[in-house]
A and B are shown apart, each in its own frame.
Chain A
Amino acid sequence: MNRAMEISKIGEKEAVAYLVTIVIAKVFLTYPAVLVGYVANAAWAVVALSGLMTLFFMYFVVKLVVSFPGKSFPQICEKILGPYLGSFVALLPFLGWLIEESLLMRNFSESMLIVALPETTLSIVMLCFVGACVVAVYLGIESIARASYISFPFTLVAILAITLLSFNAWKPQYLFPLFGKGLFPIVRAGVIRSSDFLELITIYLMPFLFYPYQVRKVGLKAVMVSIVIFLLVVITYTMSFPFPVSQEPYLPLYMMAKGVYLGHFFQRIEAIFLIFWVFAGLLLLSGGFYALCIILSQVLKLPDYKPLILPLAIITFALAFAPPSLPDAVYLSNYGLREWAWFVFYGIPIFLLIVARLRGIDGKNEFTKKEN
């Protein structure tokens, strides 16, 4: 069996913390403002709806993983679709994620420039991100997952602090009109934005990480916790900034943090939160980076993923510079990619399951012997 698959598994709590961290890391970027852009004040409804959609898709993701225990994603693809089509399908999420990863890297680096380092060259910041990611991927997913487990409470506290400390800016009236731009946009955005939970496809991209009997619980918990955090952020955000204003900023949470005013001593503390942003960002980036390396190594049937780290890092780094400007990067990431990504990424497991059913392939029988 593949060497990469001998990696130890991560327990339930770490898995949930890891998945939630990589999902919610985007609240530090443009995410809340993007939602507001779709439906104005009803952003919370989009979160709820897209969360429900994700739960629906998650059913198939988990089903795919559970019905082919002990197999990697490319192996599942190849088993169901044959070697050529299988490899092609297995490379689809890889390519999509490669682009998203580079866009995320660009966005996170640019956010550092906005928040703290206005006169630093972008490439230096990005080099730091890439460097830290490379180190993290070398150390392995176990360490990344553990780090997210340790940093999760801190990230959570940081988000809570930003959202709750801005209480003097809250005006519940800003939540009205309750249905924003109307029901149809909400439903449309709710479906499209289920790709905001896209990072959860880690579950089927790297199924070997999880204990099979925990996958269902892990997926469910991760979605639920992410929904709660998204809701918290989006609701407090729309309460602090009225509609046309709330779709403006690049970094909504930064704007909220900037508005914190607790007397003479406690103002403009946004830089402190930067530590947690960087942590969440690095975890997301290195986790995604690891996924890239693993999938590619499995598709290419390499015994080890480590030789791929450096080339992929360079590719990501180069791709990150592709968007000519920050607005372009934000647009590509939030509208260009994510609007269709849900269809492809959640569609793959459904497609695989259907084909497997049609061809009568059952992954379990073969592997029951090996399990025990």
Chain B
Amino acid sequence: MAKMNLLKKKTKTFISLLFIFTLMMLTGCGSAYEPNELSLVQFVGIDRGQENLLEVSFLIAIPQNLAGENSKGGEGSFLVTVSAPTVFQALRLANTFVGRRLSFIHAKGVIFSDIIAKEGLISKLLPTLLQFRETRGTAFVAITEDAPAKLMEKLVPLLEANPSRYMELLTQNYAFTGFISSAQVQDVYNELKILGMDSVVTLINLSPEKLPEGEEKGDYKPGGIYTAGELPKKGGVEIEAIGGAVLKDGKMVATLNGTETMIYNMIRGEFNSSFISLPVPQEEKAVINLEIFYARRPQIKIKLTEQGAVVDLELRFEGNVLGGGTTIDYALSEDRVILEEAVAKSLKREVEKLVAKSQVLGSDILEIGLNARRLVKTVDEWNNLNWDVLFMNSKVNVKVDFKIRRTSTLFKHAPITQK
């Protein structure tokens, strides 16, 4: 009998616990949000506002339009801009007119305006952002010379439904173009905090959507000389992501064009492959295309001499001839060596130019300082080294080596018959 009573009691207890559980379950103990109670911020744009305020823009996804069977195919997202003293204030202020709770958990990018960047505010804003639990450290960082709000308005992808997917793909194109930087929030953050490293972040601008007009015939220019906003293009999404903005201690000090950014990637070891072109050394007015890869990771060796630091920068590449407006056979002929040397020389020139530029700017974007840390044994020694000054006055010896390994699909290149 006693047993029965105990059992009955247990059953009662069980039922009441079940009831409490059910109540708890429906409230979810505070941290639970249904997916359709959240509005996902895809990008954050930060601009200088009136007086001491920031103008913060959020691109918010509209799930029904982006996915689901009833997708109306309308705009995939909408833009809100709030003027507020801080980013997080803006986030909550935006919720005064956006019903669903705004969340950064799927924010894939932060876009600063160049005004902010030039004022050095990145060094304050970015750490704040990263300290927030929701922010992704892997979100990309970009700087625009237009207003971020305007830029984000134009982010209407044509191929993808989702702007965030579009930007995620676009910012990863550095792997095969080299024209943009791969900097993510956490990288920039690290580089803000340590000596001997500065970042280059991707530059994204509105496209003028104009092709050069007129009769005049232009000279050969390498493809990468453009920075965002200058590229002669028409069609597609009305933005351009090419080149980079050089930060020094969180302050934007210069811009890099496409080629410079590619060289930057090459020296930092973040280069993967790209197409380059250059005038054929043996033939006038002919241009040859090559695909270029690392043959070996870049080697940076630093010595401290009495005159200052001496940096030996060694880059080794290999390539694949893609062809071009020439009939010269580069497969087995001596011309191959000539081409290899020409490529190496032109790359070397570019590298030296970029090194000089960074030395003038005093921004160690090439991570030379990072390698210089090997020279010292302790942190104190490193701090006493005064690397900033050393770097600006250091002598950099550049060595570039280039070898052709393949010639695409052709073993021999027969000359075009001339009639």
Contact = CB atoms under 8 A, between A and B. Distances in A.
Nearest to A244: B193
Given A241-B190, A242-B190, A259 B380 contact: no
B337 interface: no
Contacts of A161: none
A267 B371 CA distance: 29
Nearest to B376: A177
Interface in A105-121: 114, 116-121
B133 interface: yes
A259 B138 contact: yes
A169 B186 CA distance: 9
Nearest to B385: A177
A202 B189 CA distance: 42
B20 interface: no
Interface in A58-117: 114, 116-117
Contact of B381 (A116, A119, A177, A267): A177
A221 interface: no
Q: Chain B interface mostly helix, strand, loop or mixed?
A: helix
Interface string B377-402: 11111100000000000000000000
B133 A114 contact: yes
Given A117-B31, A121-B30, A264-B165, A177 B194 contact: no
Contacts of B380: 181-182
A242 B29 contact: no
A124 to B, nearest CB: 6
A211 B168 CA distance: 57
A259 B379 contact: no
Contacts of B345: none
Contact of B379 (A40, A169, A245, A267): A40
Given A41-B379, A261-B138, A267-B138, A116 B31 contact: yes
Given A120-B31, A124-B29, A245 B133 contact: no
A93 to B, nearest CB: 36
A330 to B, nearest CB: 16
Interface in B120-150: 133, 136-138
B31 A177 contact: no
A120 B376 CA distance: 47
Contacts of A119: 30-31
Contact of B377 (A114, A120, A174, A177): A177
Q: Chain A interface mostly helix, strand, loop or mixed?
A: loop
B379 A117 contact: no
Interface string A111-141: 0001011111100100000000000000000
Nearest to B369: A173
Question: By CB atoms of chain B within 10 A, which of A174, A177, A242 has the most?
Answer: A177
Question: By CB atoms of chain A within 10 A, which of B194, B379, B382 has the most?
Answer: B379
B115 interface: no
A243 interface: yes
B165 A181 contact: no
Contact of A173 (B29, B105, B168, B374): B374
B370 A173 contact: yes
Contacts of A176: 373-374, 376
A26 B148 CA distance: 43
Nearest to A260: B138
B370 A171 contact: yes
A94 B197 CA distance: 49
A165 B352 CA distance: 35
Contacts of B376: 176-177
Contacts of A255: 137
Contacts of A120: 29-31
Contacts of B371: 173
A339 B138 CA distance: 36
A268 interface: yes
Contacts of B31: 116-120
Nearest to A121: B30
A178 interface: yes
Given A117-B30, A118-B133, A267-B138, A177 B379 contact: yes
A126 to B, nearest CB: 13
Given A242-B190, A268-B136, A181 B30 contact: no
B21 to A, nearest CB: 13
Contacts of A258: 136-137
Contacts of B381: 177
B377 A179 contact: yes
Contacts of B373: 173, 176-177
A293 B373 CA distance: 51
Nearest to B268: A171
A256 B29 CA distance: 27
A11 interface: no
A323 interface: no
Given A176-B373, A177-B374, 12 more contacts: A169-B186, A173-B367, A176-B374, A177-B379, A179-B378, A180-B379, A182-B378, A242-B190, A242-B197, A243-B379, A255-B137, A268-B136
Interface of A: 40-41, 114, 116-121, 124, 169, 171, 173-174, 176-182, 241-245, 255, 258-259, 261, 264, 267-268
Interface of B: 29-31, 105, 133, 136-138, 165, 168, 184, 186, 189-190, 193-194, 197, 367, 370-371, 373-374, 376-382
17 contacts: A40-B379, A116-B31, A117-B30, A118-B133, A173-B370, A177-B378, A178-B377, A182-B377, A182-B379, A245-B189, A245-B193, A245-B194, A255-B137, A258-B136, A259-B186, A264-B165, A267-B138
